[in-house]
Structure 1
Amino acid sequence: MMIPSCDPNDGEGSMRLIEDLTTNTSRVQQQVLKEILTRNADTEYLHGFLEGHTDRDLFKRQVPVIDYEQVKPYIERIANGEPSHIISSQPITELLTSSGTSGGQPKLMPSTAEDLDRKNFLYNLLIPVMNKYVDGLDRGKGMYLLFVKPEISTPSGLTARPVLTSYYKSSNFRNRPFTKFNVYTSPDETILCSDSKQSMYCQLLCGLIQRDEVLRVGAVFASAFLRAIKFLEDHWEELCSNIRTGHVSDWITDTSCRNAAGRILDRPNSELAELIETECRKEPWEAIIRRLWPKTKYVDVIVTGSMAQYIPLLEFYSGGLPLVSTMYASSECYFGINLRPLDLPSDVSYVLLPNMAYFEFIKVERTDEDEASRIECNGNGESKVVDLTNVEVGCYYELVVTTFTGLYRYRVGDILMVTGFHNTAPQFRFVHRRNVVLSIDTDKTNEEDLLKAITQAKLLLQPLGCLLTEYTSYADTSSIPGHYVLFWEFKTKGSSDLSNLDQTVMEECCSTVEACLDSVYRRCRSKDRSIGPLEIRVVQCGAFDALMDFCVSQGSSVNQYKTPRCIKSTEGIGILEEKVVRRFFSRKVPLWEPYRVESRAD
C-alpha cells in the first residue's frame, strides 16, 4: 500500500502521483505510522514500550527519540545471528553501512527486501521530474560514473555494505525497467567491478566512445565526479590510444569489465581519438565537459551539504552547465526529491515524500557563537519534536525517522531548514550533519574525533620541546583529491625558530592523526584514494590572535569567542595562511581493514 505503482515512462501519471502524495501529506503520514506499528508492535523493541498497542499518541509518549548507540545492541544481535524479529517483523536481508561512524566503525542500518522496492519507487520518480524541465532526454544516454564499495559477511551470514553498493548489486538495478530516459554509457559489468581503478577507466572509455550520445553526465557525489575528471586528466593519452587501436589496455584484467568495455570499443576509431586528444591538450581544462561531451545538458551530482565546497571546480570543468541535485537519501532511509532541479545549488530544496517513512523533527536554534554559525539542539530536544506537517518556514530542524525496516524515532543527524511547501508537504534545504566539522568525500569527522587524533599526535612533540597551543582545520578541495589541513601554533621552549622543526617527527604527526581517524576516512585514504595526504601547516606565534581579532571584527563576542576547530571563512583561512612558516604531509597511507561486527564472544 505504501509503495504505489510508478512507471517512469508515464510522465503525467508520475507527476499526478507526486501531487497526490504531497496534497495528502498528513493522511499519508498517519497511514505510514499505522502500518509500521501494526507490522512491528510485537517486535522485542517496540513491545517493550507499547506492549502490543499501535496507538499513535502512545507511540509518541512511550517510544524514546534515540541515537545510534541505543539501537546498536539490537542490530549487532541480528548481525550475530539472532532473529530479525528483535526489531522487524520482516526479515532483515542485509545491513547497510552508514558513512557516519560509531566508535570508529561505520554504523549498521537494517534493510529488507521490500526496502529496495521503496528505493526503486523514488528513483523512478526522478525521470519524469527531469523531463518536466529538460527536453529531449529520451534521445540520448547518461554518462553516470557509479562504483561499488567493499562489503563483508557478518557472523550471521548477512551482508554488510554501503547502500549504493546494495542497490547496484540488486535485481532492482540490473532489471530496471527499460526506459528511453534510463540508458547509461557504462555497462553494468563496469559499474560492478570491485577494482575501482579498472572500473573508472572502463566507464570513462565507454563514455568517450559514446560521446555523441551523451545528454547528461554525473556521479552520486560531486567529489566522485571530480575524481573522475582528475583520472581523465591523468589517463587521457592511454584512453585515446585504446580508441585509436580498438584494443582495451592489457592491465584491465577483470574479465567481465574488459569484455563489456570491449563490446563498446568494437573497432579502431582514429578520428575520435584525435578529436579527444585535441581537446585534452588544451590548457586549462576549463569547460572540458562541454568540449568532450558537447550535447550535455546538465551535471547530475549531489552538491548540497558538504559537497557544496566543490561547486566552483564543477562550474570550471563543466563550463557553466546546470548542477542538478535530484534526491535526498541516506543509509537509514530514502527521503525525498528535488522538484525544481534546475535551481541554483544554493537554492536547492527537497520535498520529503510522506510514504517513504514516518518523519518527525527536533527544532534546533541557530547560534552565532563562532563564525561557522553553528546550529544547536535545544536541551535534549525531545520536548520539541513535531510532525512533518507542523514544521515552520524559516526554522531549523534535526530529522528523526521511523522506518519500515526497524528504526524507531531515530535521529539521523541531518540539520534541515524549511524553505516552503509544495502543496501540504514541506520542502527542506540540507544545512549540515550534526557535529561534523570535516568532510571531503563520504568521510564525516566530528570535533571530538579530531581532538582525540590530535591529542595522540601531540605526544610526538615532547622531544622537540614544543607545546601545541592552538589548532584549527579545514577541508582543502582546491586540488583533486581534497585533503584535510590542520593549522598548528606552537609555544617553544627557548628558541622560537620554527624553521628547525624536525621534519620526520612532524610527518609522523600527520600520519598519527590519520591513523586515529575513523574507518571511513582511512578507507577513503587507502583504498578509494578519494582523500589526499593530511597536511599540517605550522603558523607563526600570534596567528590565532589575529584570527580572533578578525572574528571579533565580524561580530563575534570577545567574552564568548573560542577558536573554531573547523574554519569555514575564506578570509579567516587567508589570515592563517599568511602566517604559515612550515608545511608537512603524511608520508604513510593509514591502515584500513574492512569493518567487523563485534560478536558476543568478544
Structure 2
Amino acid sequence: MVVLSCDPNDLEGSMRLIEELTTNAGRIQEEVLQEILERNSGTEYLHGFLHGRSRLDQFKEEVPVVDYDQVKPYIDRLANGEPSQIISTEPILELLTSSGTSGGQPKMMPSTAEELDRKTFFYNILIPVMNRYVEGLEEGKSMYLLFVKPEISTPSGLPARPVLTSYYKSGHFRNRPFNRYNVFTSPDEVILCSDAKQSMFCQLLCGLVQRTDVLRVGAVFASAFLRAVKFLEDHWRELCANIRSGRVSDWIPDGPCREAVSRVLLRPDPALADLIEAECGQPESWGGIVRRLWPRTKYVDVIVTGSMAQYIPLLEFYGGGLPLVSTMYGSSECYLGINLRPLDRPADVSYTLLPNMAYFEFMQVDDERTYECASDCTGDLKVVDLVDVEVGRYYELVVTTFTGLYRYRVGDILMVTGFHNAAPQFRFVHRRNVVLSVDTDKTNEEDLLRAVTRAKLLLEPLGWLLTEYTSYADTASIPGHYVLFWELKATAASGNEDGLALDRAVMEDCCSAVESCLDAVYRRCRKRDLSIGPLEIRVVRTGAFDVLMDYCVSRGSSVNQYKTPRCIKPPEAIRLLDEVVVGRFFSTKVPFWEPYEMDVKAIPPSS
C-alpha cells in the first residue's frame, strides 16, 4: 500500500477518503500487514520467528506480543551503529523519544523518511474534518503554540528527538504547501527556536500583534497551552512594552527569531498596547482572558483526554466558554486516530483509528479497574484485530508499524465506544501501569483522577482552582502513605494568592474525600490492616510545577510533549516540590470499609 495523500483544500474529496478508509478498514488492515511482512520478513528480528515467510496467520501464531524491554536491545544496537536491517529494510533515519514522564528515561522509537509522509497525510486530513463543523476558518489564522527541543546524537550519529520536533524540523513542515485553512501567527523561525522561553515570548508576541486575525488557539496538550497562559500572566507588561515600542526585547538573542518577529511587529502600536494592558491589568479576574484578547477565536485546540482531562475547568475558566477541541490521537510509535466529531464535549471524545497508518491489534482487558489483560485457557493473551473489537470493552493497544515495531504494546488502555462504518471508535482511558502502591493497594492514574476530581469540588465554592497535581507513595514514613502535591489558583472570589490562607478543615476534608474514592483494597489497608497512613495533601507555591517541568525536560522530556506525571519517583523531583510547600494537610477520617465489601467495577471517566 502506497502512502496516501490528502489535499486539505479539497474538503469533499478528503471526506470521501475518510469514508473509504473506514468502510474498508478490515481489507486495508490486511493489506498493511501483508506489505509490512513482505518488506521486513527477512530482517533479523522477524526472521527469528518467521524464517523468511510472510503469511499473516504465521505472523499471529509465531511473533510474540512485546513491550519496550524486549525491543530495547535492538534499538540500542541501532543507536550504536548496527544497520537498519536488524529490524527494517527501510533506512532508520532517526529515533523518536517518548515524553519519558511515566517510567523515567525516554523510550526511543525507530522512524523512516516514509513515516514523515504518513504524518503529513494525517495532519492534512484533520483540516477538512474541522471545516465540516466550523465555518470560515480560511478567513483568519491559527495561534498554535508549537515548540522544538534540541536533539541529541546517538553514538552512531542518528538523531534522537521528540516526534513533534522531528516533524517541525522536517521539510514536510518547513516547505509545506500553502493551504488557506492553517496559516500560523508564528513564523517558522520562532517555532524552531530551541530556547523554550524565547520561543514562548515571541510566539505570544506574534499572536497578540495579530489578535484580530486569530480564529483558533491551541497547543498539543492542554498543559502546554495553560503554561502559555501562565507565561502571559507573568510577562504581559513586557509584551505590551514591545508592542508599544515596536521593538523586541534585548534579551531575545536568537537572530532568526528576532528577525522573524520584527517582520510581524513592523511598527510601534501604542493603541494595541493600551488595549492589551486594559484587559490583562484588570485586578478582579483573568477569567475569559483568551476570548477577550483574541475576540474572533472559535475554539481552543488542545488534547484534553486521558490525564489532560483534569485541566478542563482551568481551560474553561481562561477560555470563557470557548469549545475545547481534541482533534487527534498519536504517539511516538505512530500516529493513530482522528476525532470525527470535534465539537463533542471533552467527556464524549472518541478517536477513529485510521487503518492505513499501521497494523492495529488489541489485547482484551479483563478487569476494568486493574486493567489486567485477558488470557485464554492456555495462558495466551486474547488479541483481536481492529474490526473485531466489541463496543463497551476495554483493550490495550498493540501496533505493528512500517518502521520496525512488531506487535508492540503501546501501553494505552482504550474503551470501544462505537463504530464509524467498519472502523471502531475509542475513548482513551489512561496509560497502563501508572500506579501508587504502599502495601497490597494499587491505585492507577484513572482512579487517582476520579478521586482528585471529587475532592477539588470542595474548594471551588471558596474561590480556588486546582491547576496541577502529582503524587508519590511516601514509604519513608511508618506506615507509608500517599502524598499529593497540589498547586492552587485563587479566583476573584477568594481574593487570595497564598496557599497559607487555606481553611485547614476544608483541606482535611479534601484529603478524606480523595481516600473515600479509592478502591476497597486501599480502604481495607487504611481501616483494618493499618498498613497505610492517612493521605496527605501538600499545597505548593504558584509556579512549582513549572520547576518540575524544567526538571523533567532536563532529563530528556520535551516541552512540546510534556505531560505532568501523575506519580513521581525520582527523589530530586520530590525534593523540588517539597522545597516550595506552603501547607500540609492530612486526612482526619478513616475511610469506609466493610469486610465483605465488593468493589464496584467503575467506568473510567469519559476522557
Scaled by the length of structure 1, the TM-score of the pair is: 0.78
Q: Is the Cα contact below 8 Å between 2:148 and 2:193 reproduced in 1? A: yes
Distance 1:217 1:101, change over 3 A: closer
Specify the alignment match of 1:416 in structure 2: 414
Q: Is the Cα contact below 8 Å between 1:65 and 1:382 reproduced in 2? A: no
Deviates more, 1:34-43 or 1:279-288: 279-288
Q: Is 1:296 the counterpart of 2:339 in the alignment?
A: no
State the shift of 1:80 in Å: 0.1
Q: Is the Cα contact below 8 Å between 1:472 and 1:487 reproduced in 2? A: no
- Partner letter of residue 410 of structure 2? V
Cα distance in 1, alignment partners of residues 222 and 236 from structure 2: 21
Deviates more, 1:377-386 or 1:314-323: 377-386
Q: Is the Cα contact below 8 Å between 1:106 and 1:520 reproduced in 2? A: no
Specify the alignment match of 2:456 in structure 1: none
Q: Is 1:80 the counterpart of 2:107 in the alignment?
A: no
Q: Is 1:387 the counterpart of 2:388 in the alignment?
A: no
Q: Is the Cα contact below 8 Å between 1:2 and 1:32 reproduced in 2? A: no
- Partner letter of residue 287 of structure 2? E
State the shift of 1:325 in Å: 0.4
Sequence identity (%): 67
Distance 1:557 1:274, change over 3 A: farther
Report the secondary structure of 1:406's partner residue: coil
Cα distance in 2, alignment partners of residues 527 and 297 from structure 1: 23
Q: Is 1:471 the counterpart of 2:481 in the alignment?
A: yes
Q: Is the Cα contact below 8 Å between 1:104 and 1:518 reproduced in 2? A: no
Q: Is the Cα contact below 8 Å between 2:430 and 2:446 reproduced in 1? A: no
Q: Is 1:258 the counterpart of 2:255 in the alignment?
A: no
Report the secondary structure of 1:105's partner residue: coil
Write out aligned runs for 1:49-448 (5 A).
49-100=49-100, 104-282=104-282, 283-367=284-368, 373-378=369-374, 382-437=380-435
Q: Deviations over 1:149-208 (max 9, x none)?
A: 232000000000110111111111101121011100001111111110000000000000
Cα distance in 2, alignment partners of residues 56 and 149 from structure 1: 39
Q: Is the Cα contact below 8 Å between 2:221 and 2:308 reproduced in 1? A: yes
State the shift of 1:104 in Å: 3.2
Specify the alignment match of 1:548 in structure 2: 591
- Partner letter of residue 26 of structure 1? G
State the shift of 1:469 in Å: 1.1
- Partner letter of residue 226 of structure 1? L
Distance 1:216 1:22, change over 3 A: same
Report the secondary structure of 2:341's partner residue: coil
Report the secondary structure of 2:108's partner residue: strand
Specify the alignment match of 1:573 in structure 2: none
Q: Deviations over 1:513-545 (max 9, x none)?
A: x99x996685669999986942477555xx37x
Cα distance in 1, alignment partners of residues 268 and 551 from structure 2: 46
Specify the alignment match of 1:496 in structure 2: none
State the shift of 1:268 in Å: 0.4
Distance 1:473 1:328, change over 3 A: farther
Q: Is the Cα contact below 8 Å between 1:106 and 1:519 reproduced in 2? A: no
State the shift of 1:378 in Å: 2.7
Q: Is the Cα contact below 8 Å between 1:98 and 1:108 reproduced in 2? A: yes
State the shift of 1:375 in Å: 2.9
State the shift of 1:5 in Å: 2.0
Report the secondary structure of 1:362's partner residue: strand
- Partner letter of residue 253 of structure 2? T
State the shift of 1:56 in Å: 0.6
Q: Is the Cα contact below 8 Å between 2:414 and 2:427 reproduced in 1? A: yes
Report the secondary structure of 1:401's partner residue: strand
Q: Deviations over 1:317-338 (max 9, x none)?
A: 0011110000000000100100
Q: Is the Cα contact below 8 Å between 1:401 and 1:407 reproduced in 2? A: yes
Q: Deviations over 1:253-308 (max 9, x none)?
A: 11111111111011000110111111111220111011000000000000001100
- Partner letter of residue 202 of structure 1? C
Q: Is the Cα contact below 8 Å between 1:93 and 1:112 reproduced in 2? A: yes
- Partner letter of residue 435 of structure 1? N
State the shift of 1:101 in Å: 6.5
State the shift of 1:558 in Å: 6.0
State the shift of 1:362 in Å: 0.5
Report the secondary structure of 1:468's partner residue: coil
Distance 1:378 1:557, change over 3 A: farther
- Partner letter of residue 317 of structure 1? Y
Q: Is the Cα contact below 8 Å between 2:485 and 2:577 reproduced in 1? A: no
Distance 1:174 1:451, change over 3 A: closer
Specify the alignment match of 1:441 in structure 2: none
Specify the alignment match of 2:8 in structure 1: 8
Q: Is the Cα contact below 8 Å between 2:307 and 2:445 reproduced in 1? A: no
Deviates more, 1:76-85 or 1:521-530: 521-530
Cα distance in 2, alignment partners of residues 69 and 346 from structure 1: 33
Q: Is the Cα contact below 8 Å between 1:414 and 1:433 reproduced in 2? A: yes
Cα distance in 1, alignment partners of residues 91 and 144 from structure 2: 32
Distance 1:156 1:103, change over 3 A: farther
Distance 1:386 1:114, change over 3 A: same
- Partner letter of residue 262 of structure 2? G
Aligned length: 511
Cα distance in 1, alignment partners of residues 311 and 560 from structure 2: 22
State the shift of 1:353 in Å: 0.2
Scaled by the length of structure 2, the TM-score of the pair is: 0.78
Cα distance in 1, alignment partners of residues 189 and 247 from structure 2: 18
Report the secondary structure of 2:366's partner residue: strand
Q: Deviations over 1:102-136 (max 9, x none)?
A: 97321110000000000010000011000000000
Q: Is the Cα contact below 8 Å between 1:101 and 1:107 reproduced in 2? A: no
Specify the alignment match of 2:507 in structure 1: none
State the shift of 1:454 in Å: 4.4
Report the secondary structure of 1:375's partner residue: coil
Cα distance in 2, alignment partners of residues 526 and 120 from structure 1: 22
State the shift of 1:478 in Å: 3.9
Distance 1:269 1:316, change over 3 A: same
Cα distance in 1, alignment partners of residues 396 and 380 from structure 2: 11
Q: Is the Cα contact below 8 Å between 1:75 and 1:109 reproduced in 2? A: yes
Cα distance in 2, alignment partners of residues 528 and 401 from structure 1: 20
State the shift of 1:471 in Å: 1.5
State the shift of 1:382 in Å: 4.3
> Which runs of no fewer than 5 residues in structure 2 stay unpaired?
437-443, 448-469, 491-498, 500-509, 516-525, 527-537, 565-572
State the shift of 1:559 in Å: 6.7
Q: Is 1:37 the counterpart of 2:47 in the alignment?
A: no
- Partner letter of residue 386 of structure 1? V
Q: Is the Cα contact below 8 Å between 1:360 and 1:385 reproduced in 2? A: yes
Distance 1:477 1:432, change over 3 A: farther
Specify the alignment match of 2:455 in structure 1: none
Report the secondary structure of 2:479's partner residue: strand
Distance 1:408 1:289, change over 3 A: same
